[in-house]
A and B are shown apart, each in its own frame.
Chain A
């Protein structure tokens, strides 16, 4: 008998009925939405070979939950939905003509510090659109993420869109590469204007280039900031990135979603993973983005197939927290009826028939299993906020169910 028998491991917790109902509700809505968009749901194993995640250097190995199989090979709990889908697309579906559309809904496991809403086990839903390059595909995925949040009732929504190639192109313009470029990207991502200024001076950037660099972290907007930045860069890569964003915005306008989005070219996390557009979705009352996505054209190639990819994931656990805190909580399914019966010949069968009939009418019905007498049953129902009590006694012996229920 260990000391831990009363506890759940750090970062993992029991999901109680209210949250569980909320989770199932969210899953159902998202499943419906994804499936109507032609995204086929798949379920990859909860445990993968460690190599699946470690192969592409996309995940820091210390963030993976690791175990070993009987042969001593290292396994890892499912860390995200994207990498297993990439594995599938390059193996089982390698003959299938692109574009491929897949979606997933499941629990992910990340070995990291937890607390304050960030758990080590958490539920995510997401989609992957594989083998479709270009702004049209980018916009489809962003639009689907917005539709997802709206469908769940998260209408206070802000989507920030960035483009990592803009920064890469800018570095080409500046002649900065390697570790220096990585350092600058981290500073931009942290919006650390102080250090950026110092570094800009160290790299002997011209005054105009310094100005461009200092703009990136603070510039939020739509078409106007793209205009502004287009005039300040020369690199074809950066120019193409801006053109890509312009097309994405214009497509999102057609979706009617332009009001939710703003461009933030300073978003540069996961620079070695993303290859183009990246985006994050925010709402009130949770400190982390609820939506995260982008284009990662190199991920599938790790598994031997050259296939572009764009996708997003939405944090179901975070959405539940947001909905709760925004006062849009889900109610517990109430119990409509409790049925009790006197210990008389034939009454139990009648009670069971009555329960079945009511449940068929989509009511939530409990059959009393503790032989409560009429008075006790009413008291119990009152305490548990059960709407209605049906108690079968001797007088009901001769009646049929319909007649009893009419009472």
Chain B
């Protein structure tokens, strides 16, 4: 039995789609239900529907063998995991954003206040990469509000199309990283359940290679 932790929402749907295309029966995971644990004994799969930020935790502690989660969450949680496959869906960027007039002038603002859902990524970026001390203000959503009402000079957030930013008079100032969904594996499961997990990873990699070959055509 392999336990897979999925990030509730779009990433879960995409992950299930991919697993099915690779020949895994995911009927259990597709039930319209409020159950959080969905098990299919015959297929040898158990799915846990978790909050994205919790997926790395479930996998690190071995409560799940495998997880599907965004790279942004992995960067923020910084857990000891095997990060084995880039699933390519859920692609976006994690960026420093702010009012358009700050473009190219970011480094000139001293003692910046940065609003973000990602305090660890923000600290890592400003302290390690830019060698700059900043004040981090942890927010839980609608981060774009912060610079608009003067709570922070800039924000660090994920950017997909950039529409929300533009509609609020904000823009991308710097890109921290490109992110997309990743498959992660618990370090013990990789060794103890190699007979089940390794073939699954190989099948998924093969499917992804086929897909990208199609995309190129």
Contact = CB atoms under 8 A, between A and B. Distances in A.
B84 A115 contact: no
A287 B61 contact: yes
Nearest to A290: B188
A372 interface: no
28 contacts: A115-B61, A116-B57, A116-B63, A117-B61, A156-B192, A158-B192, A160-B191, A190-B81, A191-B83, A191-B84, A191-B185, A192-B83, A192-B84, A193-B84, A193-B85, A194-B86, A220-B191, A220-B194, A282-B192, A283-B192, A287-B60, A287-B63, A287-B187, A287-B188, A288-B61, A288-B187, A289-B187, A289-B188
Contact of B82 (A118, A156, A191, A285): A191
A404 B144 CA distance: 85
Given A160-B191, A283-B192, 6 more contacts: A116-B63, A156-B192, A191-B84, A264-B191, A283-B188, A286-B188
Contacts of B61: 115-118, 287-288
B91 to A, nearest CB: 13
Contacts of A160: 191
B193 to A, nearest CB: 9
Interface string A107-137: 0000000011110000000000000000000
Interface of B: 57, 59-63, 81-86, 185-192, 194
Interface string A256-291: 000000101000000000000000001111111100
B83 A287 contact: no
Interface of A: 115-118, 156, 158, 160, 190-194, 220, 262, 264, 282-289
Contacts of B192: 156, 158, 282-284
Given A156-B192, A158-B192, A160-B191, A287 B62 contact: yes
Contact of A288 (B84, B188, B194): B188
Nearest to B62: A287
Contacts, number: 54
Contacts of B83: 190-192
A327 to B, nearest CB: 16
B212 to A, nearest CB: 12
Nearest to B86: A194
A194 B192 CA distance: 23
A284 B83 CA distance: 21
B57 to A, nearest CB: 8
A76 B188 CA distance: 31
Given A116-B61, A117-B61, A287-B61, A282 B188 contact: yes
Contacts of B185: 191
Contact of A287 (B84, B85, B186): B186
A192 B191 CA distance: 16
A291 to B, nearest CB: 11
Contacts of B63: 116, 287
Given A190-B82, A194-B85, A282 B191 contact: yes
A115 B62 CA distance: 12
A95 B10 CA distance: 66
Nearest to B82: A191
Contacts of A286: 62, 188
Which of B59, B60, B191, B192 is packed against the most chain A CB atoms within 10 Å? B191
The 3 residue pairs across chains A and B that have the minimum distance between CB atoms: A287-B62, A116-B61, A194-B86
A133 B132 CA distance: 45
A189 to B, nearest CB: 9
Contacts of A283: 188, 192
A194 B187 CA distance: 18
B82 to A, nearest CB: 4
B178 to A, nearest CB: 11
A115 B63 CA distance: 12
Contacts of B59: 287
Nearest to A190: B83
A190 B81 CA distance: 6
A241 B187 CA distance: 23
Given A282-B191, A283-B192, A288 B62 contact: yes
- Most chain A CB within 10 A, of B59, B186, B188, B189, is at B188
A285 B186 CA distance: 12
B122 to A, nearest CB: 18
B99 to A, nearest CB: 33
Contacts of B81: 190
Contacts of B191: 158, 160, 220, 262, 264, 282
Nearest to A220: B194
Nearest to B202: A218
A209 to B, nearest CB: 21
A190 B61 CA distance: 16
B140 to A, nearest CB: 20
A116 B56 CA distance: 13
